[in-house]
Amino acid sequence: SDIFKMPEGIPLVEGSIISDAISTPYHAVVNRARVKPGENVAIFGCGGVGLSTVQMAAVAGGNVIAVDIFDEKLEYAKKLGAVETLNAKEHEDVAKVIRKMTGGGADVAMEVIGYPPTIEAAYNAVRWGGRVIVVGYTHKDITINAGRMMFREIEMKGSLGCGLQDYPVLLNLIASGKINVKELVTHRYPLEEINEGLAFLDKGDPSLIRSIVIP
């Protein structure tokens, strides 16, 4: 069946973001990255999907390093489980900083923006045998060193959506309180103010994580 019961205690308003905003990070972290307890996980991008990825990786037991260009987003990342944060505007080579922080590179690097330079930075941030997961979408080309992939046995994968078979486990995580859905909804708009909401979204204000329209 394509229909699942909403966990008790989660209002429909906040629960409306579970499909995609929460489920896409679940698939990326659990099925594609296969994050294990104690692994260093660098997450590039702390937008709506990125912050859910931070939270999901932390729940999986990863030591999360969150990367963004807005301090407000990084503060949210800390609340959701990141143990370290990096403002990319303050570092010339973020990948190098991550390699130094982790003693050789992250076990997993996840790009959740869809911007070629950050995909390349994620690739350069992992250790020998590391995994790079591309969650963000871009139609543009990227440039990576193929020799680095071969010699270091780096895995690079894409991640798209989430299968129906994963929803029961995901919903149990939400019902148990391990995944905080309410914290991710920062703005609410009545239907008659939908244009204002879209304008604020287009503005790119860092205080916005997820906005919803309430009929």
The pTM of this model reads 0.93
Measuring CA to CA, which residue among 70, 145, 61, 68 is closest to residue 108?
A: 61
Measured at the CA of 184, the angle between CA 182 and CA 171, to 5 degrees, comes to: 60
Burial of 98 (0-12, 13-18, 19+ CB in 10 A): buried
CA distances from 170 to 14, 36, 98, 120, 191 (A): 15, 17, 30, 30, 29
Q: CA-CA distance, 67 to 191, in Å (whole number)?
A: 34
* Each residue's pLDDT expressed in tens, for the chain with a length of 215 residues: 678 888 777 888 778 899 889 999 999 999 999 999 999 999 999 999 999 999 999 999 999 999 999 999 999 999 999 999 999 999 999 999 999 999 999 999 999 999 999 999 999 999 999 999 999 999 999 999 999 999 999 999 999 999 999 999 999 999 888 998 888 999 999 999 999 999 999 999 999 999 999 88
The CA distance from 146 to 124, in Å, is 11
Domains of the chain and CATH, by start:
12-158 (3.40.50.720)
Residue pLDDT, tens place only, 184-207: 999 999 999 999 999 999 999 999
φ and ψ at residue 55, rounded to 5 degrees: -60, -45
The average confidence (pLDDT) of the chain is 94
pLDDT in tens, 37-46: 999 999 999 9
Contact criterion met (CB below 8 Å) for 176 and 186: no
pLDDT, tens digit (0-9, with 9 covering 90-100), for 15-39: 889 988 999 999 999 999 999 999 9
